[in-house]
Homo-oligomer: A and B are copies of this chain.
Amino acid sequence: MKMALLSSSSGIAVATIKYYLREGLLPAGERHGPNQALYGPEHLRRLRVIRGLLDVGGLSIAAAHRVIDAIDSDLGLAHTFEIAQRTVSAEIEPDSVSPASVTRVDELLSGWHVSPDNPGRLAAARVLTTFDDLGQPDLSGWVPGYAAAALAVAEADLDEIDARDDRESKTEMVVIGTVLGDALFAALRRAAQEHVSVQRYSPPSP
């Protein structure tokens, strides 16, 4: 298809598509004459992946690039998973994290197989450091519920990846599920908070 049809089919403006082409997020079309290129269904699909990463995942162009490169690579699934994890995880300055909070995270995750440079380990410690800085009291009644729920969600994530047939589909779920899973959980948490609030503070009359 020509650029105009790619634009109308995807609902993305021609100028935006050209920007993705220049940035290398979208592979070039097949040359067809001096000033024209033709695009196929793989371009349409890739455009949808790009919009998912940018609009819903909130990634920068550079971060989306790293994820797309991982999809196109022949890296193993575990390595692709690691790239997706690192891309969607904010870089944590080690000196913004107190050693005591790292110790608390390690205690919380004791028995888990988590490498010292797992992006979630420092990020969790950063959150606990911030609570400390905010003068919040002991959170030992609150945080273990999060760890148990995170484990249940990770099992669901891996179940879904295992259920996929081919490598491309598995890899796509690794990268997209990592990004969109955070947004899905945060959304459902909002709904669940309202539900639990209503149950506790203003139960409907029977």
- Of A15-23, A25-33, A61-69, A108-116, the segment with at least 4 beta carbons within 8 Å of chain B is A108-116
Give min CB distance, A6 to chain B, whole Å: 15
Q: Is the CB of A189 within 8 A of B184?
A: no
* CB <8 Å contact, A191 and B135: no
Contact of A154 among B85, B123, B150, B196 (CB under 8 A): B196
Q: Do A184 and B127 have beta carbons less than 8 Å apart?
A: yes
Q: Are B134 and A190 in contact (CB under 8 A)?
A: no
Instruction: Please report which residues of chain A, range 51-81, place their CB below 8 angstroms from some CB of chain B when the two chains form the complex.
Output: 51-52, 55-56, 77-78, 81
Instruction: Flag if B134 contacts A85 (CB, 8 Å).
Output: no
- Nearest opposing residue in chain B for A115, CB measure: B194
Interface centre among A113, A189, A193 (most CB of B within 10 A): A193
Number of residues of chain A lying within 8 A (CB) of chain B: 83
A37 to chain B, nearest CB (A): 23
Given the complex, which residues of B lie within 8 Å of A89, measured CB to CB? 186-187, 190
Query: Interface on A for B, CB 8 Å cutoff?
Result: 45, 48-49, 51-52, 55-56, 77-78, 81, 85, 89, 109, 112-115, 118-121, 123-124, 126-128, 130-131, 133-136, 139, 141-143, 145-160, 162-163, 172-173, 176-178, 180-202, 204
